Amino acid sequence: MRRFLAVLALGCAAACSPPPPSGADGGDDGGGAVDGGHEQQAPYAFYGLTGAGDFLPLDLAIAEDGRVGVAYFVNVGKPMGANDIDYEIRYQEWKDGQLSEPETVHTVQRLLDVSLTFAPNGQPAIGYLGGDAVTPVGVSQYWLQSDAAVAWREPNGTWTEEIVAQHSADAAGSKPDGDIGFLVGLGTQLVSAGGKTFVAWRDCHFGQNTSDWSGSELEFASGGRNAWQPSVVVSGWDGKQGYGGHLDMVIADGEPAIVSDSVYGGADSAGQNLYFSRRKKDGTWAPIVAPTNKPIGDTQSGPSLAYDPVLGFAIAVVDRTEDALYFTRSQPKDDGKAGTWSELTPVYQSGSGGWYPSLSINPITHEPSIAYYVCSKAPGANEGSCVEEDDELRISERIAGIWRTQQVDPAGGWHPKLAHFANGKRVLAYRDPRSGAIKLAVEK
C-alpha cells in the first residue's frame, strides 16, 4: 500500500503511542470514549468501478436525488514520443444499485487532487489542476498544468473545462510579492450551495523552490460558471507558513469554511498543524484560527472537515508521527472561533492506522462517522509495508458519547471518501490497497 504524491514520494515509519483509556470524556465538548470491544462487519453492498490501477486520488459526492458521483484519475500511459504520462480524469455515477459507464472528463499530466460537487443545475462539476503551461514569462517546462480549473458536465454528457485562476495576481492580496507566479491550482477544492459554486486552491507562485512552497497562500473564488469573484483567504508570502496545504472545504449556513495544513517542502510533502477559517455573511473571511494547540507532525492526506447545524464544525486528522487519529469540534453557537474547539479526542491509536481519514455527519442523528485505513497491528509500519492479514477499512461512529468501530472491508481501503445519504445511510469510495481498483461500498 502506498500514498500517491505528485512531486515527492515519501515513506514514513512512525512510532505508536499506547491505546487511549476507555474513560475519555464523552461530554458536550465533542469528545467521546473509545470502544475497545469487538468490531463488527458492517452491512454494505459492494460495487467495482474500475479494474486494477495506480494509487491515484479520487472523490465522492451525493446529489439531491440520491445519485452518487465518483471522480478519479486513470493512468493511460505515455503517448508515442511523449516524455510524460497521461492521466485521464473520469467520472461515474451510482444510483439504486446501478453503475453508469465511465465518462472521460479531461487529460492531464500533473496531478495532486480531484474534487467533485454537484452544481446548482444538478450536473456534476470537478475541480483539479488544469489549464496549460503558459505563464506570464513564457512556458513552464515542468508544470504542464498550473491553473485552478473546473470541468462542467453539459446536459448532453460532454465536459467543458473552465479556468478559474491562472496567475497569482488573479486573487490579488495586500502584498505585491505574493501576487507573482503562475502555479495556482494545487489542491483545488469545489463545493456548491445556494445556487453558487465555490473553489479554493493553494497558490505556490512559481513552484520552484523552498520560498515558493513556504510562501504559499490560500485563495478562493465564489460565484459559478463564468462569474467568479476571487479573493485571498490567507496571505502567506511574508510569513512563510506554507498555507493552503491539503485543503478541505464545506458549506455552513450557506457560507464556505476551509480547513488546511502547512506544507513547507513541496507540492504535496508532509503537512503540519491545522488552520481553519470561514467566510462571513458580508463576504469577508474571518481570521484563521488553530483548532488545536497540539502540534500535528504529519497530517498524511490532510484534515477532513464536516459541518452539521446541530453538531457544528468537526475535524478529523491523523498524526502519522504517532499513528493517532483525532477528532475535534466547535459547536454551532461558537462558529469555529478561536478557543472554542474541543480537546483532540483520540479515535484510533493502536498499531499503524487511522490513515486517510474522511469525516461525515449523519443528518438524522447528528453524530460523526470517520472512515480510515488500518495498515498493521504493529506500530511503525509505513505506506509500502502494510500487512495483508492485518489491514482493513474501518468506520468509527460516535454513538451516545462512545466511539464504536465497524469493519467495512477486510481487504482494506486506500484514501476512502465517506458521505451520508439524506436517510442517514453511508457510502464510501476507495481503492483496493493492493490492486488500486476503485470500490464503492453502500450501506444497506
Reported as a single tens digit per residue, the pLDDT across 369-387 is: 999 999 999 999 998 899 9
Q: Are 116 and 417 in contact (CB under 8 A)?
A: no
| Distance in Å from the first CA to the final CA of the chain | 28
Write the DSSP assignment of 231-266 as a string of letters: EEEE--TTT---TTEEEEEEEETTEEEEEEEEE-SS
Write the DSSP assignment of 219-238 as a string of letters: EEEEE-TT--EEEEEE--TT
User: Closest Cα to residue 119, out of 111, 110, 127?
Assistant: 127
Percent of the chain with pLDDT over 90: 85
pLDDT value of position 204: 95
Can you tell me the distance from the alpha carbon of 236 to that of 288, in angstroms, rounded to the nearest whole number?
12
pLDDT value of position 41: 64
User: Closest Cα to residue 54, out of 34, 30, 73?
Assistant: 73
Centroid of chain to Cα 112 = 11
Q: Are 193 and 219 in contact (CB under 8 A)?
A: no
Centroid of chain to Cα 92 = 19
The pTM score is 0.91
Q: Are 105 and 159 in contact (CB under 8 A)?
A: yes
User: Phi/psi zone of residue 81: left (φ > 0), alpha (ψ -120 to 50 degrees), beta?
Assistant: left
What pLDDT, in 10s, does the model give residues 269-298?
A: 999 999 999 999 999 999 999 999 999 999
Side-chain half-sphere exposure of 338, counting CA atoms within 13 A: 7
Looking at the DSSP bridge assignments, the partners of residue 118 are: 124
Can you tell me the distance from the alpha carbon of 266 to that of 129, in angstroms, rounded to the nearest whole number?
15
Side-chain half-sphere exposure of 277, counting CA atoms within 13 A: 22
Q: Are 100 and 69 in contact (CB under 8 A)?
A: no
Hey, is 323 helix, strand or coil?
A: coil
Q: Which residues of the chain have pLDDT under 70?
A: 1-42, 174
